[in-house]
Structure 1
Amino acid sequence: MKGFGVMLLVVLAVVSVAGVPGEAISCGDVQGSLYPCLGYLTSGGDPSSQCCSGVSSLSNSLQSQQDRQTACYCIKSAASSYSVRPDAAANLPGRCGVSVGYSISPGVDCSK
């Protein structure tokens, strides 16, 4: 029964991160996608395959300028809460083979 509870939580997490097509992205979506990257972002090393999968999924879900701006604000907020290394954050998309089209840094202006 314990295994069923864990599996249910995993399924709910995946469904909540996937979101509904056409629905605006939320900070919960962004954080859920990037949570597997937390170790890499705070300590360095190599990003895990789960991390890169989340980065790729997040990148693919950013369909509008509003989605990209929301994700940017969410990432900046989370980065300050978790003491993310700026070099790790800047290198993450490239390390995962994902192009985001802009630089990732603490000073990035999310409104642009």
Structure 2
Amino acid sequence: MKGVAIPVIVVLAMIQFMANPGQAITCGQVDASLAPCVPYLTGGGNPAPACCDGVKNMKGMAATTADRRAACNCVKETANHYANLKDDAAQALPAKCGVQMNIPISRSTNCDIVN
């Protein structure tokens, strides 16, 4: 019986690793990255350098489709907390920061279609 227990434990550990290979991006990470962007997103103008650094950081963290969808949902949830968020500023943010990103910054995006 002892000889069977160790291989079973190893197989179970491998299955757990395959089912959860890494940690997904969290809303805390997304919020921290985009916090410097709030003045731009609510007031317009040009984003601060710290904001653009956060956009680049978020893009780097969202390497997989699952991460991009999670980040999209976080952005959407946070955007809904700011009644004065300017949608045009939000949509223009990645371009203003010189970042091509597949994560829309919007209150109304269907994040399930993000690649």
Superposed, 1:1-112 pairs within 5 Å as 22-83=22-83, 84-101=85-102, 103-112=104-113
SS of corresponding position for 2:102: coil
**What is the one-letter code of the residue matched to 2:106?**
S
Shift in Å at residue 104 of structure 1?
A: 3.9
Alignment RMSD (CA, Å): 1.3
Give TM-score scaled by structure 2 length. Answer: 0.74
Structure 1 stretches (4+) deviating beyond 6 angstroms? none
After superposition, the C-alpha distances for 1:27-63 in whole angstroms (9 at most, x for unaligned) are 0000000000000001101100000000001011101
Give TM-score scaled by structure 1 length. Answer: 0.76
* Aligned-partner Cα distance in 2 for 1:98–1:110: 19
* Aligned-partner Cα distance in 2 for 1:103–1:69: 10
Aligned positions, number: 91
Contact 2:25 2:70 in 1 (8 A): yes
* Aligned-partner Cα distance in 1 for 2:23–2:110: 24
* Unmatched segments (≥5 aa) in structure 1: 1-21
Contact 2:24 2:67 in 1 (8 A): yes
* Unmatched segments (≥5 aa) in structure 2: 1-21
Larger radius of gyration: 2
SS of corresponding position for 2:93: helix
